[in-house]
Structure 1
Amino acid sequence: MIKNFIMNHGMRLVMFNKFVPLKLLSIAATRFASVIVMLKRLKLIKRCLLELVISEQWEAYREDDVEKASNVKMKVLDDTWWDKVDYILSFTAPLYEMLRACDTDKPCLHLVYDMWDTMIEKVKQAIYKHERLQPEQTSNFYDVVHTILVSRWNKNNTPLHCLAHSLNPRYYSHEWLSEDSSRVAPHRDPEVAKERINCLKKYFPLMSERRVVAQEFANFSSMAGDFSDSDSIAQCYDMDLKSWWVTYGTSAPALQCLALKLLVQPSSSSCA
């Protein structure tokens, strides 16, 4: 309403351009996160909008839509409304950032599963902070949001996400596991293990092949055999993933080949 009122009239747009250095984005409702993008832009120009609606030019302008002009002014000067904008942006920011990160050409297939868990936790923290709730308490609003997010994840999650997650050596490192007490290594996560097994059955239809791969994965995930090398363990947290597998994965050729394919794959947020 604010955007349309300003941009659909030449005189109002001239006043707006005098006070605001940025343009109001015109985003179709069907575009990605259009409401969030608009709210972010409004917040970015908040101070300029305040100066605009209390200016002499705004007060002197009475050509038409006096009632709408009054409504726009009341909305812009309403601290409660701006608090709601801040709240919406606070709990949607983790989701928005994750979708943006997945919508690039950078390899991130192996990051999606962990990003999803982290995103949901950040959304919960933002909502609980606003409602002043303790972690053990229940939030009806968060329950609704969580149901929507889990439903979307169940729709878009594939065994490949879990397999790529399982082949990321970083998620087995002491450094990563110690960052959060609730974290577990991929081979100890029941959901990840189930989907990984399903994926390996498609990649390796023969039992003899799967038996070899299963042993290779057991050595990799438990840091046994050649994976027990001190340099391999020390560098699994911060070394480039492809370089790590090229350097330390030669004892597991089947798994190494699979890892080198999956860990360089981009993802897409189009379906989300």
Structure 2
Amino acid sequence: MKKAYKEEVDAQVAEFFYTSAIPFNVIRNPTFAKMCEMIGKYGVGYKPPSYHDIREKLLKQVVKKIDANLEEYKEERKRTGCTIMSDGWTDRKRRSICNFLVNSPKGTIFLSSLDTSDISKTADKVFKMLDDVVEFVGEENVVQVVTDNVANFKAAGELLMQKREKLYWTPCAAHCIDMIFEDFEKNLKVHELTIKKGRKITTYIYGRSMLISLLKKFTKGRGLIRPCVTRFATAYLTLACLHELKASLLTMFSSEEWKTSKFGTSQEGRKVENVVLDSRFWNNVSTCLKVAAPLMVVLRLVDSDVKPAMGFIYEEMDSAKEKIRSNFNNIKKSYEEVWKIIDARWNNQLHRPLHAAAYFLNPHFHYEPNFRSDDGREVKEGLYFCMRRLIPDMAERRKINLQIVEFHNARELFGMEDAKECRKQLNPGEWWDMFGDGTPELKRFAIRILSLTCSSSGCERNWSSFEMVHTKGRNLLHKKKMNDLVYVMYNSKLKSRQIRKTIALPFDDIESDDEWIVEEAYDVVEIEQVEGENDGENVHLDGNNEDAQYSSEEELDEDDDADDDDDAIIRGLED
């Protein structure tokens, strides 16, 4: 009997999906399967809830259920501290939405979504919003507030630190690294020129459906656009994808199918062909990636939910600079301008005492021979600045000062073989939880710092979720109800999100940057002018072309010899 009804029931489920414009992947939602199971248990005669019930009574019930599920996260905040994350977002109706989330080692919780379209974004207004969230979460639980580094949020963060003297405001690390990528493109001629040429290739191909089909034939189905969590990182990841598919692109633009097509015989098509077949372009792609790949590792770190990043960013930023120097064979003139750009953002915008303190307290680095405890006093100054701000009680700080000696010299529990074995196996906060019992005050201080995130990209990764709720059909819903819908949608996925944690960059569900797909009318002309200025020259990192001395043939030979080294650098983007 059941088999006889199966096709009929499936057809009705499909019709419901089609007529309600429900995305097909909803069928994979575990709650959908649970719903079907519950209806089956009820049996014949089940009537669905009324319109009023599903938007009022049942929504309130689910909110209460989520509240209960989040109690363990709220309890964790008391022990580990937490980060309040805030980020702005604009929906399809051009409304400004400000999202507030709370991060702790167990996961990131959505708090509220506020429509700020009618609120002036002055520092005072932003400060009031942030201050209200801190009050709601509990000042005693908040170690830092992370936002973008735009002027009004920066000013609001400073006002918040003046009022709330036991927490920090820090700029979003992912946003700051994105600004470094932007600075590369603006200030280094080779990056500006190469990204424009790369964009020229992708926009030309993706603006023509026949070329997309031809591309996939030669690349075995792979595309050229590599979306990322930030706009300017997308540019460099797409350059990396072009590099990976270099052989396929060279074959495609040398093939009879291309040459005999209407595109291969057009003036614009030949310009794109010349770019792809120009060995100088591929040399410059490699140059750009030698700079970008190490920083992409840092971006992956601060954007990941796998482990709290605060204990690692200080060392990773320094390692990225060293890797860049190594990529250019320690030739100072090749990396000097790159370092200046990185240092300007790090010193003037991103670096905070929390980063240095977390580096000092991280057992992953503290016992290494190259640990920089006296590196220009910066590390220890950061440690003691944090202690004075986060621990105002002088008596407790005295105890911690004595306990730091025990930690530094690996005495008692810190010196046990198990503690030594786990220095790099456990997350830093977990290590302190396991082996810090002999120094309880230092243990609490260390856990609260090492449990912190470094960015607010958790907000950005969930814009698509907010967009699903903030739809045209729900524009008339009361703000409280809209907030409840997002609250339920986001927080009900916390458990499954923990299971699926991965260090890979979240390429799925991120919109590609349109400027890598949609052509701009002036693009070809502008780049052609730049090409004319640099014809016969090899573009250098500092933008000076005076020393160029290689012909195209010599550059091609150089490029072939360097391919293996370049491939190793590109693989760093994937690892």
The TM-score bracket by the shorter chain reads 0.7 to 0.9
Which structure features the higher share of strand residues? 2
TM-score w.r.t. the length of structure 1 is: 0.83
Determine whether 1:165 maps to 2:359: yes
Distance 2:433 2:212 in 1: 58
Relative to 1, partners in 2 of residues 1:111 and 1:203: Cα closer, same or farther, differing over 3 Å? Answer: same
Determine whether 1:101 maps to 2:296: no
Q: Is the 8 A contact 1:107 1:265 kept in 2?
A: yes
Q: Is the 8 A contact 1:120 1:146 kept in 2?
A: yes
Determine whether 1:56 maps to 2:249: no
Q: Which residue, out of 117, 142, 145, partners 2:338? A: 145
Residue deviations 1:120-144 (CA, integer Å, cap 9, x gap) = 1001111236xxx3xxxx41x4221
State the match for 2:211 in structure 1: 12
Q: Is the 8 A contact 2:263 2:269 kept in 1?
A: no
Relative to 1, partners in 2 of residues 1:170 and 1:16: Cα closer, same or farther, differing over 3 Å? Answer: closer
Deviation (angstroms), 1:13: 2.7
Deviation (angstroms), 1:236: 5.6
Residue deviations 1:227-269 (CA, integer Å, cap 9, x gap) = 5644366336334234432333112111111222232323227
Relative to 1, partners in 2 of residues 1:259 and 1:26: Cα closer, same or farther, differing over 3 Å? Answer: closer
Residue deviations 1:1-50 (CA, integer Å, cap 9, x gap) = 1111111123333322322221232869x714122021111112212111
Deviation (angstroms), 1:170: 2.7
Deviation (angstroms), 1:69: 1.4
Q: Which residue, out of 322, 325, 336, partners 1:124? A: 325
Relative to 1, partners in 2 of residues 1:126 and 1:151: Cα closer, same or farther, differing over 3 Å? Answer: same
State the match for 1:79 in structure 2: 279
Relative to 1, partners in 2 of residues 1:64 and 1:248: Cα closer, same or farther, differing over 3 Å? Answer: closer
Distance 1:269 1:146 in 2: 25
Distance 1:17 1:236 in 2: 47
State the match for 2:424 in structure 1: 238
State the match for 2:378 in structure 1: 191
Relative to 1, partners in 2 of residues 1:252 and 1:185: Cα closer, same or farther, differing over 3 Å? Answer: farther
State the match for 1:112 in structure 2: 313
Residue deviations 1:127-170 (CA, integer Å, cap 9, x gap) = 236xxx3xxxx41x422111111111121111111111111123
Q: Is the 8 A contact 1:104 1:268 kept in 2?
A: no
Q: Which residue, out of 395, 406, 420, partners 1:219? A: 406
Question: Residue type of the partner of 2:343?
Answer: V
Structure 1: state its 5+ residue gaps: 178-182
SS in 2 for 1:33: helix
Relative to 1, partners in 2 of residues 1:257 and 1:50: Cα closer, same or farther, differing over 3 Å? Answer: same
Distance 2:371 2:205 in 1: 52
Relative to 1, partners in 2 of residues 1:160 and 1:235: Cα closer, same or farther, differing over 3 Å? Answer: same
Deviation (angstroms), 1:184: 2.9
Relative to 1, partners in 2 of residues 1:11 and 1:169: Cα closer, same or farther, differing over 3 Å? Answer: closer
State the match for 1:208 in structure 2: 395
Distance 1:260 1:26 in 2: 36
Residue deviations 1:216-236 (CA, integer Å, cap 9, x gap) = 112211334x35644366336
Relative to 1, partners in 2 of residues 1:68 and 1:212: Cα closer, same or farther, differing over 3 Å? Answer: same
Q: Is the 8 A contact 1:104 1:267 kept in 2?
A: no
Relative to 1, partners in 2 of residues 1:127 and 1:101: Cα closer, same or farther, differing over 3 Å? Answer: same
Q: Is the 8 A contact 1:50 1:76 kept in 2?
A: yes
Q: Is the 8 A contact 1:102 1:269 kept in 2?
A: no
Distance 1:65 1:34 in 2: 31
Q: Is the 8 A contact 2:433 2:443 kept in 1?
A: yes
Identity %: 28
Distance 1:7 1:104 in 2: 30
Determine whether 1:88 maps to 2:288: yes
Question: Residue type of the partner of 1:160?
Answer: L
Distance 2:415 2:227 in 1: 54
Which structure features the higher share of helix residues? 1
Q: CA RMSD in A?
A: 2.5
Determine whether 1:37 maps to 2:237: yes
Q: Give 1 or 2 for the bigger CA radius of gyration.
A: 2
Q: Is the 8 A contact 2:252 2:258 kept in 1?
A: yes
Q: Is the 8 A contact 2:290 2:327 kept in 1?
A: yes
Distance 1:227 1:188 in 2: 27
Q: Is the 8 A contact 1:111 1:165 kept in 2?
A: yes
